[in-house]
Amino acid sequence: DIQMTQSPSSLSASVGDRVTITCQASHDISKYLNWYQQKPGKAPKLLIYDASNLETGVPSRFSGSGSGTDFTFTISSLEPEDIATYYCQQYDNLPISFTFGPGTKVDIK
Amino acid sequence: EVQLLESGGGLLQPGGSVRLSCTASGFTFSSYAMSWVRQAPGKGLEWVSGISASGGSAYYADALKGRLTVSRDSSKNTLYLQMNSLRAEDTAVYYCAKNRQPYLFGDAFDFWGQGTMVTVSS
């Protein structure tokens, strides 16, 4: 099974700061990595798919990069509404598997 | 507008069963694979099960295989999850989620329901 790790597990940053979260897969997953935002009491929301593609309607301050085993998610300028937990998620078809990272909680300093 | 509405959760006894439903609208339900994802209180996300667009292929998380049955009824635009032999550790919010692209199975989940809470306790 593919395992996903994320770091940091939590962070505090100021409005306007650049925020970076990393996600690492235990095996090569090519570009099959997605990022979600989850606010308290709400369902997750897709932000980035296939490592670097911005989902329709998502602000351009969110971005993703990477391939293989190492991936990065960036908020270029943190806004108050970005307070949430962010999850990476890999998917594979051979065999079918979907694995989420443990999440990174982002707070305002 | 895509909408996914889960139902069927509640307080259940250990060893019991539950059937969750997810009613979809706003898209061609029969063209998209669907999945169930759960989240235990205060914990992260865990993919539970999924089913292909046609309903011909079903997939389960290894840890839950044997206790789950996923199905869909395209005439009712509804996804189902039957869970048997419930345990305290099945306590979670259960979300249904839609695949981003039609017909593919492995993909991102671009729309999620609001979730239904399943609590397993005596």
Take residue B60 and report the two structure tokens written for it.
Answer: 């389960």
Q: How far from A86 is each of A23, B5, B89, CA to CA, in Å?
A: 11, 23, 23
Q: Model confidence over B37-80: pLDDT tens digits?
A: 999 999 999 999 999 999 999 999 999 989 999 999 999 999 99
Closest chain A residue to B58, measured at CA? A96
Q: Chain A neighbours among B 60-89 (CB < 8 Å)?
A: 62
Instruction: Give the mean model confidence (pLDDT) for residues B2-23.
Output: 98
Question: In the predicted model, what is the mean pLDDT of residues B2-21?
Answer: 98
Query: Confidence band (pLDDT; 50, 70, 90) for B121?
Result: very high
Determine the distance in angstroms separating the CA of A96 from the nearest CA of chain B, rounded to an integer: 7
Structure tokens at B9: 């959760």
pLDDT at B104 over 90: no
Q: What is the pLDDT of residues A32-81, one digit of tens each?
A: 999 999 999 999 999 999 999 999 999 999 999 999 999 999 999 999 99
- Asked if B27 is an interface residue toward chain A (Cβ–Cβ < 8 A), one would say no
- Chain A residues in contact with B106 by the CB 8 A cut-off are 32, 91-93, 96, 98
Cα distance between residue A1 and residue B61, in whole Å:
11
